[in-house]
Structure 1
Amino acid sequence: MARTLLVTGFGSFPGVSANPSEAVIRRLAETPPQLPEGMRSAFAVLPVTWTMLEETLPELCERHAPAAVLHFGVASKRRMICVEARARNRASIDRPDASGQHRLDPMLDRNGPAARPSTLSSARLIAAIRASGVAARRSDDAGDYLCNATLWRSLIAGFPASFIHLPNADTPGGPDVADLERAARAAITAVAEGIGAKEGGLTR
């Protein structure tokens, strides 16, 4: 049975009417990357809601039993792709989600650590994206919204996981949707090739 790499993006939310990660995921789903033998990809667009963490994401993980999870989202104020090296134990109580709901607790886990490191190699992902011709850098701050929380939830579930923030596709001087898709394909391929690698290239 093929091992699955689960790849997700996000839909729209207050302040972002067109999420580039959704556009990228839909393009990838139409023409999936060619992965090594024994590997397959599964794609999903997640709703930007706090209930997604308890409903949609666990259901996807149960259905696919992924060997690794790679999340994509948008960081509108950033000008290049950012590979998140950690998820922080914090959550915004001020920003409504796509359903208009607010989170009540400013921490994701009252008994958890201050942060959890991503378990897919940030250096490997950055190198792959740069090799595709798109600028990328490491980030140690995934924010305090659903992007950060989604990475946190995947990490505590025990999956090798990382989160990649995309800039808006219309950022002046930045990558367009085709560039973002190319970068995402490179990142996906790098993760797939790293799974099961004897040198442990998949993880940090």
Structure 2
Amino acid sequence: MKALVTGFEPFAEHPHNPSQAVLALLPERVGGLELVRATLPVDTERVRPILKGLYREHQPAVALHLGLAAGRPLVCLERLAVNLLEFDLPDNGGHLLQGTPVLPEGPLALLTRLPLRAIQARWKEAGIPSTVSNSAGLYLCNQVMYLALAWLPPGVPAGFIHLPPDETLALARPQAYVPLKTQAQAVVLALEEVQKSIPPGP
């Protein structure tokens, strides 16, 4: 079984994105899951075909998407994605969407398929600060989460984790942060819990 784990390239005033950097710290496998890692563009038009191509090529049994929440000091599990894009700054392609649906015919919101409480309990045991968030924002993170939940089969666990600043961003601008190694540990523990939630094959 393959687990697709994605992060985003740097964007806006951030020269470094922990969601991209953390991919290099992940193992090749987590339990029975073979990890496929990919960096997505922060471009609302380019990300759609790239994401669809990753799903088509790898047919993942799990999709875990990561992004940076620069203003949040904790690792955040996202509960839902909404069918709306409302950018407060242009993406890397210069697009500034306002009141645009992710999918015009899609439902208003889609719930994560990750076992949120089980993941958060594992993080608590490991001493990793975390929270469950009810808003993935209205930018590219929300777009990718919504597309994952809309495009992947209902039985595929899929969801989104927002990562806080790491030590590299904190050096550039002093702020609360979680070390990148700890963020990688959080991702691995999340994947372990997700694997437990997958029904055994025939």
TM-score, length-normalised on structure 2? 0.87
TM superposition shift of 1:50? 0.7
CA separation of 1:153/1:79 partners in 2, compared to 1, >3 Å: closer, same or farther?
same
TM superposition shift of 1:93? 4.2
The answer to whether residue 110 in structure 2 is matched with residue 116 in structure 1 is yes
Output the aligned Cα RMSD.
1.9
Q: For 1:33 and 1:182, locate their aligned partners in 2 and report how far apart those are by CA, in whole Å.
A: 13
Q: For 2:120 and 2:162, locate their aligned partners in 1 and report how far apart those are by CA, in whole Å.
A: 12
Task: Say which SS state the counterpart of residue 161 (structure 2) adopts.
Answer: strand
CA separation of 1:104/1:175 partners in 2, compared to 1, >3 Å: closer, same or farther?
closer
Q: Which stretch has the larger CA shift, 102-111 or 124-133?
A: 102-111
Name the counterpart of 1:160.
157
Gaps of 5+ in 1: 199-204
Amino acid at match of 1:179: T
Q: For 2:158 and 2:43, locate their aligned partners in 1 and report how far apart those are by CA, in whole Å.
A: 20
TM superposition shift of 1:107? 2.1
2:83–2:107 contact (8 Å) kept in structure 1: yes
Q: For 2:104 and 2:19, locate their aligned partners in 1 and report how far apart those are by CA, in whole Å.
A: 30
TM superposition shift of 1:101? 2.4
Name the counterpart of 1:49.
43
Name the counterpart of 1:186.
189
Alignment match of 1:174 (pick from 177, 181, 191):
177
TM-score, length-normalised on structure 1? 0.86
Kindly report structure 1 stretches of 4+ aligned residues shifted beyond 6 Å.
none
Structure-to-structure mapping, 1:1-204, within 5 angstroms: 3-28=1-26, 31-36=27-32, 39-103=33-97, 105-158=99-152, 159-170=156-167, 172-196=175-199
